[in-house]
Amino acid sequence: MPDNGDSYLIIGSKGGNATDPVWYLNLQEDPSCEIRVSTLQTKAKARFLEGEERDKAWAKIIARHPVYLKYQARAERTIPVVQLEPVAG
């Protein structure tokens, strides 16, 4: 989901599963990644949102995609929100 500016928010919901998705675990090990959004393909760095910053992002997400509230209700964890920030090079 597009965020403010040039960054993107991704949500590790895994449909409300009790475990985090593998891609999230991979980004924790190495936050460097590549993203493709429409015709844009670029390198990016993952930043894991926490606290108030996560809460604000989560509010944006559920306003556009309320299904994530259902996923959060059945998950036995806090669904992670990750900001992908494009990097030069």
Q: How many domains does the chain have?
A: 1
Write down the pLDDT at residue 88. Answer: 82
* pTM, two decimal places: 0.89
Could you tell me the residue range of the domain that residue 15 belongs to? Answer: 8-86
Residue 1 located in a structural domain: no
Write down the pLDDT at residue 40. Answer: 86
Residues lower than pLDDT 50 in the chain: 1-3
DSSP states of 2-62:
B-STT-EEEE--GGG-SS--HHHHHHHH--EEEEEETTEEEEEEEEE--HHHHHHHHHHHH
Write down the pLDDT at residue 1. Answer: 47
Query: Where residue 67 sits, what CATH number does that domain have?
Result: 2.30.110.10
